[in-house]
Amino acid sequence: MLLLVPTLLGMSVFIFLMLRLLPGDVVDLMTAGQEQATDESKRKLREAFGLADPLPLQYIKWLLGLLRGDPGKSLRSGQPISEALGQALPITLELTLLAVLLATTLAIPLGVLSASRRDSKADFGGRVAGLIGLSIPSFWLATLTLLFTSVVFSWVPPVSWVSPTTDPLGNLEQMLLPAAALAVQLMAIEMRMTRTTMLEVLGQDYVRTARAKGATEQLVTYRHALRNALIPVISVIGFQIGTLMGGSAIIEVIFGLNGIGATLIQAIFNRDYPMVQAAALFLATVFVVINTSVDLLYGYLDPRIKHA
């Protein structure tokens, strides 16, 4: 738990430096193709953006700003970054949670089915589907889904974002497809994980004992086996939430959703340093925090795991 602080600090240095290793800065981009732009005007812009300071000073200024809760302003749009990320966060969060929800509600029953009817046709089908799901890149699936629904149903999700609080149905209509595209891979992972751990658990002594005392197969499967099999599955889901939040970037771009990932990608192309730093650090923080929470949850779910 205490490792959180040095981890994040190291992360911030890394993000800060990585970005500045890329050739070209925002001023180069802004003045590209402008034959009339003078060195003087470029210098003034760099000073205005704080890019003229030595790197360590820039870093310290940024860090102090962060500690005050102010990640600065976008160099390209001038928009306060907290505001930009504030608009983007709910979209990414909803997308991620919806994807996890979709994946989990389908994957766990399927995994259980697959395990309890091992080597049946259903099991075989489930395993093949799982492999396919694992192998399909989500951006490919997203593009294909869009083209498919547009050609076959003459329908695509509405392009303008509506908040779930103002129009829950409209929001769902918009988010379901991207969430599904994002969910497929996670679903495959969860299903295979559930199947594997279920198989393991079903071979345990206490399951045999439960059966021996006359518990129904259903009771054995859900009460005795599944509960114990779920622990590793939950940890996988936890880790995946962090991955999904960053990994949803391409899905966001394809579906025209202005989430954190899409914002980050654009900021990188624009060399919008403070925006990239804030978005990347935010995602890194989410990842670290979720992983830590999963560790804690793990101990809670399985008291045998002690925390130092």
Partner 1 sequence: MSPDERFLMRRGLTRRTWLLRAGLLAGSGLLAACAPAAPAAPTQAPAAAPTQPPAAKPTAAPTTAPAVAATTAPAAKPTTALAAAPTTAPATGGKKGGKITWALEQDPVHLIPYGAVPTANMWGKEFMYDSVIAWDRNLAIQPALATEWSAPDDHTYVFKLRQGVKFHDGSEVTAEDVKWGIEAQADPPAPGIKTQYPAKITTIDAVDKYTVRINMSGPDPSVIGYFAWQRYTPVTPRGIYDKINVLTQGIGTGPYKLVEFVPNDRVVYTRNPDFWNKDLPYLDEITLKVLPDEQARVAALRSAAIDGATFTADVAKTMANDRNLTVLKGLYAAHKEIQFVLKDPKNPWSNVKVRQAINHAINRQDIIDKVFGGDASYSSIIPPGYGDWPLPEADLKGNYLKYDVDKAKGLLQEAGFGSGFEMELQSINPPRYITQAAEVVSEHLKAVGIKANVVPLEIGTFAKNNADGSYPGAQLTARGMRGDPNGYVTEFHPKTPIFATWFEGGFLNEELTKTLDDALLTPDQAKRKALYTRAQQILLTEFPHIPLVQDMKYQVVRSRLKNMYVSYTDFNTGLRESWVEA
Binding site for partner 1 (CB under 8 A): 22-25, 28-39, 41, 45, 48-49, 75-79, 84, 87-88, 143, 146-147, 149-151, 153-161, 253-256, 258, 262-263, 265-266, 269-271
Closest approach of Cβ 156 to partner 1, in Å? 5
Residue placing its CB nearer to partner 1 in the complex, 130 or 274: 274
Scan for tokens 């970005």, then name that residue: 19
Q: How far is the CB of 286 from partner 1 (least distance, A)?
A: 20
Report how far residue 77's alpha carbon sits from residue 12's, in angstroms, rounded to the nearest whole number: 23
User: CA 253 to CA 97: how far, in whole Å?
Assistant: 18
- Least Å distance between CB 150 and partner 1? 4
Nearer to partner 1, 67 or 151 (CB): 151
Nearest to 65 by CA among 289, 273, 255: 273
For residues 282 and 2, give the distance between their C-alpha atoms in angstroms, rounded to a whole number: 18
232 close to 298: Cβ distance less than 8 angstroms = no
Closest CB to partner 1 among 69 and 78?
A: 78
109 versus 158: smaller Cβ distance to partner 1: 158
Q: Which residue has the tokens 């149903």?
A: 153
> Is 221 or 266 the residue whose CB approaches partner 1 more closely?
266
Nearest distance, CB of residue 39 and partner 1, angstroms: 7
Question: CB of 50: closest distance to partner 1 in angstroms?
Answer: 12
Of 262, 288, 291, which is closest to residue 92 (Cα–Cα)?
Answer: 262
Cross-strand partners of 73? 80
DSSP character at residue 22: S
The C-alpha atoms of residue 228 and residue 96 are separated, in whole angstroms, by 26
